[in-house]
Structure 1
Amino acid sequence: MIGGEGPADPRWMVRGAWIEYAQKFKALCINLEHRYYGESHPTEDLSTKNLQYLSSYQALADLANFITSMNMELRLNKDIKWIAFGGSYPGSLAAWLRLKYPHLVHAAVSSSGPLLAKVNFMEYFEVVVNALREKTGGEECVEQLKLAHYQIVTLIRTNPEIIEKEFKLCKPFSEATTNDMKNFYNSIADDFADLVQYNEDNRIGADKRYLNLTINTVCNMITGEGSDPAYKKVANFNSIILEKTNQTCLDYSYDNMINELRKVSWGSDEARQWTYQTCTEFGFYQTSSGEVEVFGNLFPINFFIKQCQDIFGNKFDQNFITSAAHWTNAYYGALGISVSRVVFVHGSVDPWHALGVTTTETNDTPAIYIHGTAHCANMYPSSDKDSSELVEARVEIEQYLSSWINLP
């Protein structure tokens, strides 16, 4: 199992779909942490100069070196076949590892992997809005969100103190900069982004914010009967998030966010490392450009480009980031990746499927598209609440693995 933009979690060594596959195939399981994350500290600190060694292609080289070393240390003969598993960014790495090191990796399961590097990832919030429709079976929730956004914008202009109070802001709008305001609107949208991305999943170490919070329960809150206006219902959802994350107020200060991301010591929030990878390889900026009616075009691409520059330096401008994304797509092949024995798995509710392979092009690169499931759902331990389509997907993955393992 390939590690990603966070610490390696030992719970994955005893739970999850890959463990169930391993038991059936009598396989050895190894989980390798990604350089620069968790306790994998290759440099003295996280200065921009030292981050030059943080990239997907160097992480792949680590994996190749690790496999070669394990083959020698454990005296694994040539009949032993390595299978790569990964979800989200590691889902991309799993496919790319098979692409770049086919002599070392026999097959891969790429779950929810975004293979297309895209700077302005406007489709993200388009999928979020479509997921609200798909899971609730109608337009009512989306219409209420549109109304809430209109009311918030209007009240900030006419009676800002109402929004300051309802959203429990750490500082009044009278002290807010233009970038603070973009950050405020982005934070409201992100509440819904996280809700959708991890909807109804059975995650290992699930984020406590979203226990009992699903698209349906939150949409019921927003569309339910009662005299509260739409903006207040959205504010109530925001209050639940603040409470579950032990925040007394919503800090939408742009400078506070940037200062946090400028910290170069190990042990700080690992968001600095992932932000660096987005600025130098992928983009992946979830802008408001695709869903202006629902969230307003209030956190456009320049908001995210500015963050790269403010954190890492002026050279990280739009041309730099666009060129970096083009290089990544040329290096790996993007959605035209030419690879074999990789199964691509995505869920319709997961916004990241918009950048992934969702249709089968060849028999040895099958795509499994699971309706109604969110991010990496197929990887998690099975549950009685799993849909029949999710259960079927896990069986299908096992069948592909079985047929590939038997190939020379």
Structure 2
Amino acid sequence: GFLWDNAADFNALIVFAEHRYYGESLPFGNKSFTSPKYSGYLTSLQALSDYVDLITHLKSQHEGAQTSPVIAFGGSYGGMLSAWLRIKYPHIVAGSIAASAPIWQFTGLTPCGAFNRIVTSNFQNQTPECSNTIRKSWNFINTITSTDAGKQWLSSNWKLCKPLKTTTDIHQLKDWLSDVYVNLAMVDYPYPANFLEPLPANPVKACTEMVMPMCSDGNNDMFEPQPWNFSEYSDACYKKWKVLPRQDLIVKLYGGKDISTASNIVFSNGLLDPWSSGGVLRSVSKTVVSVIIPDGAHHLDLRASNPDDPVDVVIARNFHRKNIRAWINQHNKSNR
């Protein structure tokens, strides 16, 4: 990706730090998600502290690295961490590229329907009939599955892995369809790609600190009407994980929209990406700047250079390089 394409020009060491509870970093093995007793260390603050410890350790192990500047990169949740790392630890990280980082996708910061409206606009921009057909499909599914014969017909014609039998089955089918539409919009790259993988830690985090209100009304979007109900959300979280979500925690921890005292952060957002609904779309200051990529999907700018890349993502990457160089020079001057 972008890091490999540019590391040599900066004589840089690339470090990928695996977030605890992701990948193989399971502190309690198979028990890690079974109880709050084991999942309690799954927090963004803990992850940031881990990264600070790792950076400090790596600098101590490499000769001449003690005063080397560190630039944080991340996309999506990783982009949020990248920005927060610079906000919380400016003495550790000289600058941050935060791509598709929805740091404002939280209660009181962004309307709950904004995400699904962007998904819908992606389909509508291809052809209005596309979004209209999807909008009508929910009532069709509800009507045809109201009888056993209808459930059997839909199961057979759609070649479902398991036949529809219960109301829960139907809800799961519609949830799956919604996820497909969202993912098609999110990774609407100009070339084939396949990077979405299951992340078992995400549902747990969504029930503790990453509470991002989502809703749909069926008019301004193509989805089945579904209001945001925090009480129901909280009950579902407790039923599944035995934890209670704190919808205001992230704003308290990281300042919400009041980040004007931060510096050296680039927030990049592709307008095809529904997560741009919670992104920083306007520059906050001269050193906390926003880069808009009109034809970009989810953190396209952090992917490897490709002949099919739109011009605007090429411009965004050049802007990233310019800022990285400036941050490094600024750091080196202050450490002479």
Pick the TM interval, shorter chain: 0.7 to 0.9
In 2 relative to 1, CA 281–203 (structure 1 residues): closer, same or farther, beyond 3 Å? farther
Alignment counterpart, residue 63 of structure 2, candidates 72, 75, 82:
75
Distance (Å, rounded) in 1 between the aligned partners of 2:42 and 2:218: 30
1:406–1:72: structure 2 CA closer, same or farther, 3 Å change rule?
same
1:42 aligns with 2:33: no
CA distance in 2, matches of 1:167, 1:287: 27
Residue type matched to 1:182 in 2? H
Aligned length: 321
Call closer, same or farther: CA 1:291–1:329 in 2, change over 3 Å.
farther
Q: CA deviation at 1:203?
A: 8.0
Tell whether the 8 Å contact from 1:71 to 1:77 is kept in structure 2 after alignment: yes
Structure with the higher helix share, 1 or 2: 1
Which residue is 1:244 aligned to? none
Aligned residue for 1:92? Answer: 80
What is the match of residue 281 of structure 2?
A: 358
Amino acid at match of 1:400: N
1: CA distance, partners of 2:155 / 2:284: 51
Task: With the length of structure 2 as denominator, give the TM-score of the two structures.
Answer: 0.87
**Distance in 1 between the 2:192 and 2:70 partners?**
25
Give 1:387 deviation, angstroms. Answer: 0.6
* Structure 1 residues without counterparts, runs of 5 or longer: 1-15, 209-268
Structure-to-structure mapping, 1:10-89, within 5 angstroms: 16-44=1-29, 45-46=31-32, 47-48=34-35, 49-77=37-65, 79-89=67-77
- Deviation per residue, 1:143-189 (Å, 9 max, x gap): 2222333322332236343323223345554x313x44332211111
Aligned to 2:90: 102
The question of whether the paired residues in 1 share the 8 Å contact of 2:275 and 2:298 is answered with: yes
Q: Equivalent residue of 1:283, what SS?
A: coil
What does residue 179 of structure 2 align with?
A: 190
Asked if the contact 2:218/2:224 (under 8 Å) is kept, the reply is: no
1:101-120 superposed matches below 5 A: 101-118=89-106
> Which whole-Å deviations, capped at 9, do the CAs of 1:270-290 have from their partners, x for residues lacking one?
42x211111110113544447
Aligned residue in 1 for 2:238 = 309
| Residue identity opposite 2:122 in structure 1 | A
- 1:333 is aligned to 255
Pairwise CA distance, 1:310: 2.4
Q: Does 1:132 align with 2:151?
A: no
Supply the distance in 1 between the matched residues of 2:21 and 2:221 (Cα, whole angstroms).
Answer: 39
Say whether residues 1:166 and 2:123 are aligned partners.
no
Relative distance call for 1:402 and 1:21 in structure 2 (3 A) is same
Change (3 A) 1:383 1:300: same
Name structure 2 gaps, 5 residues minimum: none
- Provide, for residues 336-384 of structure 1, a one-character-per-residue CA deviation record: whole Å limited to 9, x for no partner: 3241001001100111111110111211111101002110100001111
Q: Deviations over 1:290-326 (max 9, x none)?
A: 767622125864765454122112x52xxxx2xx231
Give distance in 2, aligned partners of 1:361 and 1:123: 21
Distance 1:60 1:343 in 2: 18
CA contact (8 A) 1:117 1:325 kept: no
Distance of aligned partners of 1:291 and 1:26 in 2 relative to their CA distance in 1, 3 Å threshold: farther
- Given that 2:186 and 2:274 are in contact with CA atoms closer than 8 Å, whether structure 1 keeps it comes out as yes
Structure 2 distance, partners of 1:311, 1:299, is 21
Distance 2:171 2:251 in 1: 29
Q: Secondary structure at the match of 1:280?
A: coil
CA RMSD of aligned residues (A): 2.5
8 Å CA contact retained: 1:279, 1:308: yes
- In structure 1, C-alpha distance between the alignment counterparts of 2:68 and 2:7, rounded to whole Å: 13
- Measure the CA separation in 1 of the matches of 2:134 and 2:90: 47
- Output aligned runs, 1:251-270, within 5 Å: 270=199
Kept in 2: contact 1:203–1:381 (CA 8 A):
no
Query: Are residues 376 and 19 of structure 1, via their aligned partners in 2, closer, same or farther at CA, if it must alter by over 3 Å?
Result: same
Q: Match for 1:348: what amino acid?
A: L
Taking the aligned partners of 1:297 and 1:375, their CA distance within structure 2 comes to 25
- State the alpha-carbon separation in 2 of the partners of residues 76 and 383 from structure 1: 35
Task: Please give the alpha-carbon distance, in whole angstroms, between the structure 2 residues aligned to 1:140 and 1:43.
Answer: 50
- Aligned to 2:291, the other structure's residue is in SS state strand
The answer to whether the 8 A contact 1:83-1:108 is kept is yes
Equivalent residue number for residue 212 of structure 2: 284
Return closer, same or farther for 1:105/1:291 CA change in 2, 3 Å cut-off. farther
Greater shift, 18-27 or 91-100, is seen at 18-27
